[in-house]
Amino acid sequence: MMDKTSDNDSEAQIDNAAYEAWFIKQVQASIDDPRPSIPDEEARRLMAKNATC
């Protein structure tokens, strides 16, 4: 009989590793993006505008 707890732990570790790799890739892509940054206030305004659409 297989231990389902260890199976779930293994899946969680794989999911965590996959998420971490994805997250690191996203952060690096943002760092490497040549477009100029926008001020926080402008970003919040744009997000609020998109949320109401």
**pLDDT (0 to 100) of residue 47:** 94
**pLDDT (0 to 100) of residue 6:** 67
The structural domains of the chain, with segments of one domain joined by +, span 13-51
Q: Give 45's pLDDT tier (boundaries 50, 70, 90).
A: very high
Euclidean distance between CA atoms 17 and 29, whole angstroms = 18
Mean pLDDT across the stretch 41-52? 92
**pLDDT (0 to 100) of residue 4:** 60
What does the pLDDT look like over 1-35, one tens digit per residue? 455 656 788 888 889 999 999 999 999 999 999 99
Q: The whole model's pTM is what?
A: 0.54
